[in-house]
């Protein structure tokens, strides 16, 4: 064997060794990636032995599950946004009504009796003009804040529900 042949064999051996090292590094990277994927899938966490096919199948199932879950969450977020918008519109409507209804006299509410008297006085006024159209049936008092209450009474008044804002002193 000549010196040239020995040099070529050494070069080829070095190339093969380098190629083998690169291939070993690539296989180790794939193995580590599958291990990482296995640890990321809840159905496979804690399992030491799982085939690559099993890991891929469970990972695909988990991805589909998470997509459905995310879609449901996005739908919930949209529903909550719509509810918020409706509530904000109701707040604006109530604030406008409150501004319009500020002409109602300020009263000191002592009890529901006073409210009933106030409403019966109110209904007697309307009875003079329309005696059969206004009859008080129910009274509800809702606290709005420290200084205001909302008095709702269920009444027959040309098919509408009168709402009174009463400002407390």
Is residue 71 domain-shared with residue 8, that is, in the same domain?
A: yes
> Taking 60 as the threshold, does the pLDDT of residue 2 lie above it?
yes
Q: How far is CA 78 from CA 70, 74, 86, 89, in A?
A: 12, 6, 12, 17
pLDDT band at residue 95 under the 50/70/90 scheme: confident
The verdict on residue 134 lying in a domain is yes
The verdict on residue 96 lying in a domain is no
Number of domains in the chain: 2
Is residue 55 domain-shared with residue 112, that is, in the same domain?
A: no
Is residue 115 domain-shared with residue 59, that is, in the same domain?
A: no
User: Which residue carries 């690559």 as its tokens?
Assistant: 52
Is residue 17 domain-shared with residue 68, that is, in the same domain?
A: yes
> Taking 60 as the threshold, does the pLDDT of residue 136 lie above it?
no
pLDDT at 121: 52
pLDDT at 58: 97
List pLDDT tens digits, range 39-78.
999 999 888 889 999 999 999 999 999 999 999 999 999 9
Q: Is 137 helix (H, G, I), strand (E, B) or coil?
A: strand
> Taking 70 as the threshold, does the pLDDT of residue 138 lie above it?
no
List pLDDT tens digits, range 82-93.
999 999 999 999
The verdict on residue 42 lying in a domain is yes
The verdict on residue 137 lying in a domain is yes
The verdict on residue 152 lying in a domain is yes
Q: Which domain holds residue 152?
A: 104-167
The CATH number that applies at residue 61 is: 4.10.280.10
Is residue 51 domain-shared with residue 111, that is, in the same domain?
A: no
Is residue 68 domain-shared with residue 125, that is, in the same domain?
A: no
Is residue 61 domain-shared with residue 116, that is, in the same domain?
A: no
pLDDT at 154: 45
pLDDT at 41: 96
pTM listed for this prediction:
0.49
Higher pLDDT, 114 or 10: 10
Q: How far is CA 39 from CA 43, 46, 52, in A?
A: 9, 7, 13
Is residue 67 domain-shared with residue 119, that is, in the same domain?
A: no
pLDDT band at residue 129 under the 50/70/90 scheme: very low
The verdict on residue 23 lying in a domain is yes
């Amino acid at each position: 064997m000549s010196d040239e042949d020995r040099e070529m064999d050494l070069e080829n051996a070095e190339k093969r060794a380098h190629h083998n090292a690169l291939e070993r590094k690539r296989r180790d990277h794939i193995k580590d990636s599958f291990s990482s994927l296995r640890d990321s899938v809840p159905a496979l966490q804690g399992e030491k032995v799982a085939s690559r096919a099993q890991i891929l199948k469970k990972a695909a199932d988990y991805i589909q599950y998470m997509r459905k879950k995310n879609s449901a969450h996005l739908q919930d977020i949209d529903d909550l946004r719509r509810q918020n918008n409706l509530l904000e519109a109701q707040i604006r409507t109530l604030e406008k009504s409150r501004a319009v209804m500020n002409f109602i006299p300020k009263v000191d509410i002592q009890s529901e009796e006073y409210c009933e008297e106030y409403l019966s006085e109110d209904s007697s006024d309307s009875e003079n003009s329309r005696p059969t159209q206004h009859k008080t049936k129910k009274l509800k008092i809702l606290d709005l804040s420290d200084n205001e209450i909302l008095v709702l009474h269920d009444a027959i008044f040309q098919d509408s529900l009168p709402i009174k804002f009463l400002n407390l002193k």
